[in-house]
Amino acid sequence: MIKKVKNTNNRITVLYIVIVFIAIGVVAQIVKVQQFSEAINTASQPRYFKVEAPRGNIIADDGALLAISMPLYDVHLDMSVMNKELFNTNVVELSVLLADLFKDKTNEEYELFLRSSKDTKKNKYILLQNKVTHNELNALKKMPILYLGQNKGGLIAEQRPNREKPFGLLAQRTVGVLRGVNPVGIERAFNQTLSGIDGVHLKRKIAKGIWVPQDAEGNRLPRAGNDVVTTINTDMQDVAEKALENTLINNNADWGCVVLMEVKTGKVKVIANLKKQADGSVRESFNYAMAKHVSPGSTFKLASVIAGLEDGFFKVEDSVRTHGGKFSFYDRVMMDSKLGLYDNITIKNAFINSSNVGISRIIFDNYKSNPNAFTDRIYKMGLSTALELELPFPNNLKSPIANKGGWSGVTLPWMSIGYEMQLTPIHMLTFYNAIANQGKMVKPIFTSAISRDGKIIKKHNTQVINPAICSRSTIKTVIPLLIGVVEEGTAKNIRTSNYLIAGKTGTTVINFNNRGKGEEKEYQASFAGFFPADNPRYSCIVVINNPRENGHYGGSVAAPIFKKLADKVYASDMSIHKALQQSDILVNLPKVKQGHTQDANNVLANFDINRIVTDDLWMVASTTKKEVSLEVRKVERDLRNGNMPDLRGMGLQDAIYLLESYGLIVKIKGSGAVKSQSISKGKKFFKGSVIKLELA
């Protein structure tokens, strides 16, 4: 008994000692981990990754897509989940389909690639293809093995952001780009609107740098951003860019820009900016229309004339001496582009023919004692007011108050003809647009709405900068001057009988103040105006910088681009065509083709033309000055009796309908109405007979 108790105590003692040693070991391990070991590596633990949301679309005014997020995918294969028997059975067919889809490897190369990836003992998570399109991914999902999905087929597709511009370089700078050092355009200005809400997706790490997506309740799909609807018209933009490109090449110019906007709304329908590269190519790399501050030149003469009219210093019928186109202001000589043409002309003709001396003299003579009055008047017209556009750029206008150190006695006369200041082309256009809009200056806008899933959620309305930049009487006075420039002045080469154009040419020496001795002059050609002048709908400005060949005047270089664009707009926008007056309608009523009575009657009724109508289904028409008579034509009675009627003069559709209704086979030659028929009038025909119709 004593021996049994002793053995039990020994066992308890041994067990106690073992437990103590285990406890000491655990404590030691804890101390080691906490004090001496490296931190526990959690980098391989599953974690959520951000899934970038697709950006919203940028849309043209007609619904065309200027920028769209088209998802691309990086496709991987997890070979470890593929059933070996299924793989061996289908790998040949899968290889053929992959080679046919991607065309980057042969069937044999794909089969070798897949088999080696399946047999390897190392990482079996392999990259199949980068930048796979949505259609290609759908094709992959239908292929053998892969159709089983991620868990059995091993197909894993990870979406990557991708921005496409379906129209390529069209309006590239305005559409803009977000990525890069200097984001620009609508992409930048509406980044918050276009950006969506990112999603999250759980992934697990299977090898260094390789994370495999996993299904999880916490996964959240991204939400795409809102769409931005622009005011840009793709057809007009295309015409402007092509015309601008041709001019830069033909005239060997440095750069050029074109802006066209709606007069009433300020919606910019066209904004093109192109630069000629060293290799002779042309591309868009800078927004000259909005960001380039240049001397406007003679297009500014309009503001000078308006200032003098508003202050009551002169009338356009008054005369001014030009001294043959050469006059000295202190120690500097002002010259016209052509000397000796006239000595004493009206202010109207000085403007129409763009006389530098004429315009500068009327401003200098009336404002020299108080030049601040001139610049104050210019300021009131909005030419010094920052536009604060959706894509903002600063304005800069020289003032005797703000820049006393740069003001001299010759500043005023040269400022009056567009020197001694710098304005962006779009600012100058905004001024001309105000003249077309009866004095109301509106802000140029590039977007009309924000939409989501095709529904408008926010509209961008027209913003008025200045309700009246000058009096209506002054506008009524200067518009005929602008029309005169095109009808008989420096831009008469773009005159058209279809509609009236009002505008002003500009030819500026851009190295006026920094030209070295013996250095050639560098010019800038421009034209600003609006059309139709009698009911303005669109305003436009064209600027061509440093044309070296084939002329340098605004009328010969810039104005033709204006004309090409205006012709396109006029042809496509029927709302700007004049409604026909009663006097415009032809004296004789129209001739009516033979055919279906009711169809002809409906057309004549819509035009409110007097007519006499037969009750018969088919008719032949006769026209007088007073009415159209639709008389009986018994073609169907003849066909019913098996006799061929006279089809001459009948429209093709009616003739085919009738003949095929009675079983004839019709063959035609030409277009228009029936001129002759192979089966003569009155001859018998049978079902299946072939009749040849010659059309005129």
Looking at residues 476-490, what average pLDDT do you find? 96
- Any idea which of 79-88, 91-100, 493-502 has the lowest mean pLDDT? 79-88
- Strand residues in 70-183 grouped as ranges (E): 72-78, 125-132, 155-160, 163-164
Model-level pTM greater than 0.75? no
Residue 64 pLDDT level (bands cut at 50, 70, 90): confident
What's the pLDDT score for residue 403?
A: 44
What's the pLDDT score for residue 528?
A: 97
Query: Which backbone phi and psi does 13 adopt, to 5 degrees?
Result: -65, -45
b/e sequence 226-248, b meaning 16+ C-beta within 10 Å: bbbbbbbbbbbbbbbbebbbebb
Looking at residues 176-192, what average pLDDT do you find? 75
DSSP, collapsed to helix, strand or coil, labels residue 370 as coil
Find the angle CA(571)-CA(574)-CA(576) to the nearest 5 degrees. Answer: 95
Looking at residues 604-616, what average pLDDT do you find? 74
Are 256 and 538 a contacting pair, CB within 8 Å?
Answer: no
What's the pLDDT score for residue 580?
A: 43
Residue 586 pLDDT level (bands cut at 50, 70, 90): very low
Find the angle CA(632)-CA(633)-CA(639) to the nearest 5 degrees. Answer: 140
b/e sequence 441-473, b meaning 16+ C-beta within 10 Å: bbebbbbbbbbeeeeeeeebeeeebbeebbeee
Q: Percentage of the chain surpassing pLDDT 70?
A: 89
Alpha carbon distance, N-terminus to C-terminus of the chain: 136
Number of Cβ atoms within 10 Å of the Cβ of 676: 14
Are 387 and 395 a contacting pair, CB within 8 Å?
Answer: yes
DSSP, collapsed to helix, strand or coil, labels residue 251 as coil
Q: d(Cα 30, Cα 279) in Å, to the nearest integer?
A: 71
Q: Which residue has the higher pLDDT, 593 or 275?
A: 275
pLDDT one-digit tens code per residue, 203-240: 777 666 667 777 788 888 878 889 899 999 989 999 99
Residues 6+ apart with CB under 8 A from 277: 283
Give the Å distances, CA to CA, from 267 to 188, 432, 442, 542. 19, 14, 9, 17
- Any idea which of 85-89, 203-207, 356-360, 392-396 has the lowest mean pLDDT? 392-396
Query: Mean pLDDT over all residues of the chain?
Result: 84
Evaluated on CA atoms 373, 376, 378, 381, the torsion sign reads negative
Q: Which residue has the higher pLDDT, 581 or 32?
A: 32
Nearest in space to 428 (alpha carbons), one of 534, 340, 503, 511: 503
Are 229 and 458 a contacting pair, CB within 8 Å?
Answer: no
Using the predicted structure, report yes or no on whether residue 420 has a pLDDT greater than 90.
Answer: no
Are 59 and 65 a contacting pair, CB within 8 Å?
Answer: yes
What's the pLDDT score for residue 123?
A: 67
Q: d(Cα 319, Cα 477) in Å, to the nearest integer?
A: 16
- Any idea which of 6-10, 325-329, 367-371 has the lowest mean pLDDT? 6-10
pLDDT one-digit tens code per residue, 299-344: 999 999 999 999 999 999 999 999 888 998 988 898 988 887 788 9
Query: Distance from CA of residue 605 to its chain's centroid?
Result: 42
b/e sequence 611-628, b meaning 16+ C-beta within 10 Å: bebeebebbbbeeeeeeb
What's the pLDDT score for residue 585?
A: 45
Are 658 and 578 a contacting pair, CB within 8 Å?
Answer: no
Reading the block at residue 665, the tokens are 């086979």
Reading the block at residue 19, the tokens are 């437990």
Number of Cβ atoms within 10 Å of the Cβ of 630: 24
Q: Percentage of the chain surpassing pLDDT 90?
A: 39
- Any idea which of 152-156, 237-241, 347-351, 485-489 has the lowest mean pLDDT? 152-156
Q: Which residue has the higher pLDDT, 141 or 658?
A: 141
Nearest in space to 403 (alpha carbons), one of 368, 371, 359: 371
What's the pLDDT score for residue 139?
A: 92
What's the pLDDT score for residue 401?
A: 39
Q: Which residue has the higher pLDDT, 406 or 559?
A: 559
pLDDT one-digit tens code per residue, 540-566: 999 999 999 999 999 999 999 999 999
What's the pLDDT score for residue 489?
A: 93
Are 295 and 510 a contacting pair, CB within 8 Å?
Answer: yes
Nearest in space to 661 (alpha carbons), one of 597, 617, 598, 601: 617
Q: Which residue has the higher pLDDT, 75 or 408?
A: 75
Q: Which residue has the higher pLDDT, 67 or 620?
A: 67
Which residue in the block uniquely carries the two structure tokens 């009911």? 535
- Any idea which of 39-48, 114-123, 490-499, 546-555 has the lowest mean pLDDT? 39-48
Using the predicted structure, report yes or no on whether residue 9 has a pLDDT greater than 80.
Answer: no
Looking at residues 237-255, what average pLDDT do you find? 94
Q: Which residue has the higher pLDDT, 695 or 239?
A: 239
Residue 520 burial (CB < 10 Å; 0-12/13-18/19+)?
Answer: exposed
Are 568 and 239 a contacting pair, CB within 8 Å?
Answer: yes
Q: d(Cα 423, Cα 71) in Å, to the nearest integer?
A: 42
DSSP state of 576: G
Nearest in space to 353 (alpha carbons), one of 298, 293, 288: 298
Are 453 and 547 a contacting pair, CB within 8 Å?
Answer: no
Q: What residue type is assigned to position 568 of the chain?
A: K
Q: What is the DSSP code string of 462-498?
A: --EEES-SS-HHHHHHHHHHHHHHHHTSTTGGG--SS
Evaluated on CA atoms 110, 114, 120, 125, the torsion sign reads positive
Of 15-29, 450-464, 637-651, highest mean pLDDT: 450-464
Which residue in the block uniquely carries the two structure tokens 């793989």? 87
Using the predicted structure, report yes or no on whether residue 172 has a pLDDT greater than 50.
Answer: yes
- Strand residues in 488-617 grouped as ranges (E): 502-509, 523-531, 538-545, 595-596, 611-613
| Torsion angle of C-alpha atoms 565, 570, 573, 575, degrees rounded to 10 | 140
